Amino acid sequence: MSAAAELTMPKLSDSEADAVIVKWLKSPGEAFRRGEALLEVETDKATVVYEAEADGTLETILVPEGGTAAVGQPIAALAGADGATAASQAPPEPADGRPNATPVARRTAVELGLSLHGLAGTGPGGRITREDVLRASTSAPRAPVADGRGEARVLVPTPTQATIARRMSESAATIPSFTVSADADVSQLVALRRGTREESGDAAPSLNDFVVKAAALALREFPRFNASWVDGHVESYSRVNIGVAVATDDALLVPVVADADARTLAEIAAETRRLADGARRRALRPEELQAATFTVSNLGMFGVRAFTAIVDPPQAAILAVGGVRRAPVEDGSGDVAFRDVMTLTLSCDHRVVYGADGARFLSRIRELLERPLVLAL
């Protein structure tokens, strides 16, 4: 933020293309100091508070609350600490004859199949905003429905949903993936956790906390899975940071347990509870959603037995965890007994690891889950 400049939409996450201004925390004409909160922004991953990087005064708000702006787009005019006022200049009309619209508005119009020509803009200098496009889409006449499905209601994705769609499409199109599955006998783990819950209540580690711990230890033994394919080569990372997928009302967020291999099971449990709560409230900091080197996705609480998860680029693998079920299992002597079984499915980037690698890595995770006392130490 310079002494006399425009405040532009900050880049608050690695994958952010645009963001929504939730609330301005300063009013026009109000001065602020470096480090003071200026506004709340909803990025593709969370709602975060943006703090001033220098002293100044908020002169003019260019993007109101609820408005969307692309990263780098001016959102306010500022005056510096010396009193110089930043001139709020309207964006120039494009010389190629295209409608004067923000990049986000153009992308939204393409998604909705709406023409920008003739559309009135409410942004600075009459620039067409995303909100203008959305208003036009709801008021535009609809073509008759010819296939009998009835009138279509357009559901415009939020920035988070749009980013998820883009990243999953990127994964499916660019990553040659394969999967391996295995059943883990988690009877001892279930019994151990039952006893722990009687002593610790809600503070007891969840089944997923055990999985995160097992995956972290396995990643330390198999560093090839703690890696990414980048520009034709493999980058293997020194830190084991595990993303834990959390379903919210309208999206899927993946907060990160940093250095999971160096944390105790109790520390992992406390951290995952804190991160999950923050994800559901959309109150996580950007750094809590970045730098994952591996991801665990668990749908067992929904009664799902097994599923295949899509690798989240640039990570090399993701572990999908199903629910615990009672199943007949044959022991070494040929006897059959009902045991607690959990299905694990590992999806991998074939450019980084191969089938046998995946089998050995998954087998190690299974072994650790079947010996839960090792994880609890």
- CA-based radius of gyration for the chain: 25
Reported in sequence order, the residue ranges of the chain that DSSP labels E, i.e. its strands, are 6-8, 18-24, 31-32, 37-42, 47-51, 56-61, 68-70, 74-80, 177-185, 227-230, 233-236, 242-244, 246-247, 252-253, 256-257, 294-298, 317-330, 336-349
Closest CA to 240 of 253, 228, 226: 226
Residues 348 and 311: beta-carbon distance below 8 Å: yes
Would you state the structure tokens that stand for residue 154, as one six-digit string? 């357009």
- Domain 161-376 belongs in CATH node 1.10.3720.10: no
Residues 316 and 353: beta-carbon distance below 8 Å: yes
213-267 pLDDT tens trace: 999 999 999 999 999 999 999 999 999 999 999 988 777 889 999 999 999 999 9
Residue ranges per domain, the chain?
A: 6-80, 161-376
- Whole-model pTM over 0.85: no
161-376 has the same fold as 6-80? no
339-352 pLDDT tens trace: 999 999 999 999 99
Residue 336 has a CB neighbour count (10 Å cut-off) of 9
As its CATH architecture, domain 6-80 has Beta Barrel (2.40)
99-144 pLDDT tens trace: 888 767 777 777 777 788 888 888 777 888 877 888 887 665 555 5
